[in-house]
């Protein structure tokens, strides 16, 4: 096969990258924005040894899963992968991503492992509580904001992202307008010049009065930011704080070290599963609050925390552990970001959870920590890259009755479960949770239990 060849094929699957998959003369063909059941004429874009990338040239017979796309940025911005198929088709694909990862990477097949049906998100639009928009300069030399194109740092202008609450779009538009008026320059990544880098917004979901925090990320401080902050809080009564985050580094990481509070407070005050949560800009907070509450409830159901000592690794602001702290003997949270640990301590105090303690440390150094009591249950909720092997080995050596793993990356979850299964644990149940409707991302929860030789 050669570049620009036209081929006819049927899409039979969707990969975890969100691409449709079909076969042509034994060769795997990946086609973005196609749907299972599509019969298409595709144009070959890139040829590799055993697979090719192609794009839809002509639709011969559309899949019954197809729906009308309602976002003008779909296919350009790197956010959504599935605005062209029904939500039930998306859920089916995501359930399969998790099953396939566990089978292929972990060696866990259907017969010995229980794959529970995927848990949908009740909201599939405007469910996010966090917005991160890069800022750039357009061809008319005007500052604008949007989202990065897939696998690129080209900023696609987006007026109103359908995954974000409307207030975020209104605030972002206002910031752009005011930044233009105040002649604040946009940061240019290539030249490492300019000022305004990102707009970062966070919003409480369960508490009506929980506030909106507006973080302006800039390469350096300029006097105009004070005025911008004042005008923002005058225009939007929902905004409870404006923070200037200074990021002078040449980096893809959005937030820098230094924070200057321009007005109000930097935390938002929300509630998850009845636990009061204060969240600072640098603390991790699940972006789909309502769907994350379902995960926390499932984690509690699987962990059976009553009377148990629970080690909550990668605990963030302590939300999962605290949500199951009533009835538990003790909760010990471990988290690497100091601001998140401060939030966790304050959240425990507010909740009256005197049985909770939090340690600021790298989970990789867990063996060196002085854990006050041997845990009966371990909760693992690592970032996308998963757990270090030394963390897994140490967790296994503590010999807990159960491990509940929560992961936003089924591939690393399957890899880590495989290691735990070699260390005396068995995977009892795996369930996918859709926390990120319309995107290719999926979360999963896994129950592992210690194999006891009776
Ligand atoms: N359990 C929390 C956070 C999960 S996200 C919740 O449900 O909200 C993963 C968390 O792991 C983040 O808070 C991140 O800061 C933290 N983290 C990342 N690498 C870590 C490491 N090596 N050691 C400890 N914590 C880490």
User: What CATH class has 130-271?
Assistant: mainly beta
Cα–Cα distance for residue pair 281/72, rounded to 1 Å: 30
Supply the pLDDT for residue 220: 98
Of ligand 1's listed atoms, the one at least distance from the Cα of 286 is 8
CATH 3.40.50.150 occupies which residues in the chain? 94-122+288-450
DSSP letter assigned to residue 291: H
Active site residue 395: no
Cα–Cα distance for residue pair 454/447, rounded to 1 Å: 21
CATH 2.40.50.1070 occupies which residues in the chain? 130-271
Candidates 3.40.50.920, 2.40.50.140, 3.40.50.1000, 1.10.1040.10; CATH matching 6-61: 2.40.50.140
Supply the pLDDT for residue 370: 82
**DSSP for 409-454?**
-HHHHHHHHHHHHHTTEEEEEEEEE-SSTTSS--EEEEEEEE----
Nearest-CA residue for atom 12 of ligand 1: 316
Cα(381) to ligand 1 centroid in Å equals 7
Q: Mean pLDDT per 10-residue run, the chain (454 residues)? A: 96 96 96 97 96 97 97 96 98 97 90 88 98 96 96 94 98 98 97 97 96 98 98 97 98 97 97 96 97 98 98 97 97 97 98 97 90 94 97 96 98 98 96 98 98 77
One of 145, 214, 408, 417 is an active-site residue; which one? 408
Which residues make Cβ contacts (< 8 Å) with residue 187, sequence separation at least 6? 135, 136, 193, 194, 195, 196, 197, 218, 219
Cα(290) to ligand 1 centroid in Å equals 19
Pairing label, strands 377-380, 356-360:
unpaired
Supply the pLDDT for residue 454: 57
Cα(363) to ligand 1 centroid in Å equals 9
To test the pocket of ligand 1, the residue of 205, 270, 284 to mutate (highest count of ligand atoms within 8 Å of its CB) is 284
CATH 2.40.50.140 occupies which residues in the chain? 6-61
What Cα–Cα distance (Å) separates residue 158 from each residue in 141, 169, 175, 430?
Answer: 17, 9, 14, 36
Smallest CA-to-CA distance from 321 within 358, 291, 376 is with 358
CATH fold of 94-122+288-450: Rossmann fold (3.40.50)
DSSP letter assigned to residue 116: E
Whole-structure pTM value? 0.95
Nearest-CA residue for atom 1 of ligand 1: 315
Protein residues with CB under 6 Å of any ligand 1 atom: 284, 286, 314-316, 319-320, 334-337, 340, 362-364, 381-383
User: What length does the chain have?
Assistant: 454
Cα(181) to ligand 1 centroid in Å equals 39
Supply the pLDDT for residue 43: 98
């Amino acid at each position: 096969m050669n570049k620009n060849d036209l081929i006819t094929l049927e899409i039979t699957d969707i990969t975890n990258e969100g691409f449709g998959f079909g076969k042509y003369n034994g060769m795997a063909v990946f086609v973005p924005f196609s749907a299972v059941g599509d019969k298409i004429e595709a144009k070959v874009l890139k040829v590799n040894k055993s697979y090719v990338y192609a794009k839809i040239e002509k639709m011969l017979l559309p899949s019954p899963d197809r729906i009308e796309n309602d976002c003008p940025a779909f296919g350009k911005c790197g956010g959504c992968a599935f605005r062209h198929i029904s939500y039930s088709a998306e859920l089916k694909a995501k359930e399969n991503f998790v099953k396939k990862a566990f089978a292929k990477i972990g060696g866990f097949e259907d017969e010995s492992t229980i794959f529970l049906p995927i848990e949908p998100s009740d909201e599939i639009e405007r469910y996010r509580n966090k917005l991160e928009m890069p800022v750039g300069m357009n061809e008319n030399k005007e500052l604008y904001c949007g989202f990065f194109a897939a696998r690129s740092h080209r900023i696609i202008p987006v007026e109103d992202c359908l995954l974000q609450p409307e207030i975020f779009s209104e605030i972002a538009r206002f910031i752009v307008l005011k930044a233009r008026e105040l002649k604040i320059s946009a940061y240019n990544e290539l030249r490492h010049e300019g000022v305004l880098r990102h707009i970062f917004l966070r919003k409480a979901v369960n508490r009506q009065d929980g506030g909106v925090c507006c973080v302006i990320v800039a390469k350096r401080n300029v006097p105009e930011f004070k005025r911008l902050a004042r005008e923002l809080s005058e225009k939007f009564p929902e905004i409870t704080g404006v923070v200037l985050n200074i990021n002078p580094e040449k980096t893809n990481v959005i937030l820098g070290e230094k924070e200057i509070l321009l007005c109000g407070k930097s935390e938002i005050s929300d509630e998850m599963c009845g636990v009061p949560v204060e969240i600072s800009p640098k603390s991790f907070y699940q972006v789909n609050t309502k769907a994350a509450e379902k995960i926390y409830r499932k984690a509690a159901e699987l962990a059976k925390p009553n009377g148990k000592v629970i080690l909550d690794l990668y605990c963030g602001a302590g939300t999962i552990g605290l949500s199951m702290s009533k009835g538990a003997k003790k909760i010990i949270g471990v988290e690497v970001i100091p601001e998140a640990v401060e939030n966790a301590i304050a959240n425990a105090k507010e909740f009256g959870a005197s049985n909770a303690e939090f340690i600021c440390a790298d989970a990789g150094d867990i063996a060196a920590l002085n854990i006050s009591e041997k845990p009966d249950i371990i909760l693992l909720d690592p970032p996308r890259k998963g757990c270090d092997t030394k963390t897994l080995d140490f967790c296994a050596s503590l010999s807990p009755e159960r491990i509940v793993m929560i992961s936003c990356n089924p591939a690393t979850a399957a890899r880590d479960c495989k290691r735990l299964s070699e260390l005396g644990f068995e995977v009892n149940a795996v369930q996918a949770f859709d926390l990120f409707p319309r995107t290719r991302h999926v979360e999963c929860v896994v129950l592992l239990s210690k194999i006891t030789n009776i």
